[in-house]
Chains A and B, each alone.
Chain A
Amino acid sequence: MYKYSDFDAAFVAERNRQFRAQVGRRVSGALTEDEFKPLRLMNGLYLQLHAYMLRVAVPYGTLNGTQMRQFAHIADTWDKGYGHFTTRQNIQFNWPTLSDVPDILDALADVQMHSIQTSGNTIRNVTADHFAGATADEIADPRPVAELIRQWSTDHPEFQFMPRKFKIAITGSENDRAVIKAHDIGLRIVEQDEELGFEVIVGGGLGRTPMIGKTLVSFLPREYLLPYLEAVVSVWNEIGRRDNKYKARIKITVHEYGIDAIRNLVAERFAETKQEFSGVDTSYLAQFEDAFSEPVYSNRPVDVYDLAYSNDPVFRSWADTNLTAHRAEGYAIATISLKAHGQTPGDATAEQMRVMASLAERFGHDELRVSHAQNIILPHVHVADLPQIHAELSQVGLATANIGLISDIIACPGMDYCALATARSIPIAQEIATRFDELKLEHDIGHLQIKISGCINACGHHHVAHIGILGLDRAGVESYQITLGGDATESATIGERAGPGFSAAKIVPAIERLVLAYLDLRQTDDETFLETYRRLGLTPFKAALYPEVKAHAA
């Protein structure tokens, strides 16, 4: 992992010192809220519905045991004993008081973390494939590049007051687990003539105007990455709309100008930026590649695993659902579900965080990942350690075997916490997971992604869900709109709206009708919901959702 240099540590310490003084001036009355608000947002501090919320960046979703343990300490000391992992691979604390935040930021700095640029119209935390550096299908680990982008974008003087926020995601695999086509810029590491470079995708995004990103360049030699990114962001920074915040994101700029015009403008600007970068960026990249070198794997017998797999059905079920192939022999990628049935998606208690930290330190080369699906990953574990890992996870409610299944729901905080939300998300997720657990159909249903957003801003990624749920306020009542057929992978697709919304009381039965219809409609047991939807289209699912309409027509 990357370790802070003296420069990094001094920079974060100085920002924390400044913020402590700013909080002091706000509390004394020397600063008004209008003056203070942009300062607190620069440090990731929001005022939500019931309390402040501090959003802490987990750079490209990678953290170590010490950092996870510090989250537990923060949760216990200054919050309510838990934290919420988000779809942007960050963690949010829902209950800090304003006067405690400077101490929290110092505690984060102690473990080389901060909350800078987790808000505001800046380049936000760069997100990455959560299986980076471990997955078998990878051309190269994207995290050294993500670290390079992080350092370039942090406190970048030109990009602190942009038309709107800007999100970059990166993957090193053909199989996209980082939703790169729904980001302002999506990067995919590609190989051409034995040389590594990037496919640069631009103008994707969700929110009220969902768009799938378009390819700006299909192969960018890797030494040009930063000057090229600088060209893209600076073109948009200049021509992006500042008159209307709903039209300010680069997806609208790309839509209005057309991808070819944007490509030409970027090429012109790139001719300049290319001259300005001295090559220092490439030497930094080489250093970061060393920092992310592969762990030293051990070659041990796997019979402990085989024995547990054949004798323990609970372990077998977890192994079948929560493990992914690792590129090293005898190793696995283990996903820890933060989606126990009936619990809040993405939440972990301080005790659970300490267990995950300890497992990473003892069995996982001291590495953890946060996924955009709001789960935690042990990226490098030897299969012989898995029975022990599973046993320890079980003791703290972290052994739910549901990764990729219907209860592995993405949900934004919704109106239970978020000041922007128009309806609640969390209770809907809890009820769906509980209902399908009661029906004991989850494993039979197979791979099915439900994603719930509590407002049009789509933090819950509902547009790219197989079944998306959007919570709205319809004449003073919570109403839930369903979209179908979305896809968050390399074949990214925006889901289609199924029809009128459902009340909070009727949305879970509606989802149940939809899923039961799928079970009737699928051709084989392994045809997924998305495959069935693609084969048959909206009509049969619409009939299941709105049986009364069918009855009227008959």
Chain B
Amino acid sequence: MSRRYLPKVITANALIEGDVVYMTAKGMWSRCLRDAEILSDEADAQIRLIDASAQSKDVVGVYLSDVEPGPNGAEPVHFREDFRRTGPSNYPHGKQEGQAHV
């Protein structure tokens, strides 16, 4: 029996700022993981990845990242993805700066 497909989100870095971005259900890029569309079907995820990768004018390094669905949307499975959605731990820079202003 095949293993259960781990849910994914599509993520990349924005071309100009390099900031981490996620693909939403509407096919737009968001800076917040909670806006990301959670893809639970492997075939669907692969097609969405191909479409997202074609947007090379906006983003760099598109890939699928494992997530767990939570009450506030997708939650990262791996600590690297947790750092990507947050920013560095030594200064309140990156996405943490944005949150401070919200």
Contact = CB atoms under 8 A, between A and B. Distances in A.
Contacts of B84: 49-50
B76 to A, nearest CB: 10
Nearest to A421: B80
A392 B94 CA distance: 31
Interface residues of B, number: 25
Given A49-B84, A50-B94, A476-B77, A416 B89 contact: yes
From B19, B20, B90, B91, residue with most partner A Cβ within 10 Å: B90
A425 to B, nearest CB: 10
B95 to A, nearest CB: 8
B39 to A, nearest CB: 20
A417 interface: yes
Interface residues of A, number: 29
Contacts of A99: 16
Contact of B15 (A48, A49, A98): A98
A50 B78 contact: no
Interface stretch (A27-35, A64-72, A218-226, A528-536): A27-35
A68 B57 CA distance: 35
Nearest to A31: B56
A47 B18 contact: yes
B65 to A, nearest CB: 13
Interface string A340-374: 00001000000000000000000000000000000
B88 interface: yes
Contacts of B64: none
Contact of B90 (A49, A52, A98, A427): A427
Given A415-B83, A477-B79, A51 B90 contact: no
A50 B90 contact: no
Interface string A454-477: 000000000000000000010011
Contacts of A52: 18
B90 A344 contact: yes
From B20, B77, B91, residue with most partner A Cβ within 10 Å: B91
Nearest to B58: A29
Contacts of A175: none
A455 B72 CA distance: 32
B20 A416 contact: no
Contacts of A427: 89-90
A430 B90 CA distance: 9
Nearest to B95: A50
B45 interface: no
Given A26-B15, A33-B61, A94-B88, 12 more contacts: A48-B18, A49-B20, A49-B80, A50-B18, A80-B91, A344-B91, A415-B80, A416-B83, A416-B88, A426-B89, A427-B90, A476-B78
9 contacts: A47-B60, A50-B20, A50-B87, A50-B88, A98-B18, A416-B83, A426-B89, A430-B90, A476-B77
